[in-house]
Structure formats: C-alpha cells, structure tokens
Amino acid sequence: MKAQAPTAHGQGLSTQARNLHWLLSNLVDEVPGIHSVAVVSSDGLMLLSSDPGRMEAAGRPDEHDGPGGSSADLATIVSGLGSLTNGAAKLMDGGAVKQTMVAMDEGSLFVMSISDGSLLGVHATPDCDMSVIAYHMALFVGRAGHVLTPELRTELRKSMESPQ
C-alpha cells in the first residue's frame, strides 16, 4: 500500500508523487535564476508545476510566475515548443530531441525531454547560468523519468485538475 500525503485540496498523494513535487520544488529553490518550472505529459497536459496555487490567481503575475503570469501558459509553451522541435527533428532526420533552449532579451526558456515523452520546461532569467540550469534539469530528468508511469501521470493530472 502506498503512503499518502494530504495535498492542498485534501486528497492524498502517493510517495512517488510527493517525491516528484519535492524534486520540482528543490529545482526551483536551489538553482539561481529559475522563475518557474512545468512538467508536461506527451499529450500536452500539465503534470507538475512550480506554482500550482497561482495557476489562475487573479490574472496578476508576480516576479515568480511563468510566462503571462500562469503556470498553464508555461505548460502550453513547453508543449508547443516540444511538438515543433520534434517535428523539425523528424523532417531533418535528426533523431530524438534532447533539449531546446530559447534565449530572449528578458528571459530564457529550456525544454528537456523525459524518457516517457513528457517534457520538463524551465522559464529562467536572462542572466541565468545556462549550463547550471541544464545540469540540474538533467538531474531532474534522470530521477523523474523512471518513475513517471502511466498510473503516476494519471495521479498527477488529477491533482492538477483539482479545484484550487
């Protein structure tokens, strides 16, 4: 029997789900320059977010929110960019896409593939150390990839869909 922990919504989460939430929180808290993080399933649904409580918060972003002030925006962008780069790689016979990085005047966006087809997306500051962020993303992917079973993805989706 899996150990359960209460969520903000009063539902229990499995030990594996709690561990993934901890890994995500640790990534945001320990790596300088990260604004927000989202894990998106292969079909484009958000599984984890660094700021799920602020997903729809009053439409007013603060400095730690994702693009457009919503973690749902980050998940949408990550999913779309992942789809675009996978399509480009297929057209160019480039093999699997491992990582995509977009450098902008006012920020950076990193997208890394997770073994099950899910994607890890990070929105960071423009002056972030890209190699440090890429290293920590690779650590997250290495730790999370083997536990993202279909059952855990379903559990994470349901926890993200719960009313805030």
Write out the H or E segment, with its range, that includes residue 17: helix 15-30
Most trustworthy range by pLDDT among 47-61, 107-121, 144-158: 107-121
Count CB-CB contacts under 10 A for residue 141: 21
Domain range summary for the chain, segments of one domain joined by +: 5-161
Measure the CA–CA gap between 157 and 49, rounded to whole angstroms: 11
Any idea what DSSP says for residue 47? E
Top CATH class, 5-161: alpha beta
Mean pLDDT within 133-145: 93
Mean pLDDT within 96-114: 95
Per-residue pLDDT of 40-49, as tens digits, reads: 998 888 999 9
Whole-number pLDDT of residue 52: 55
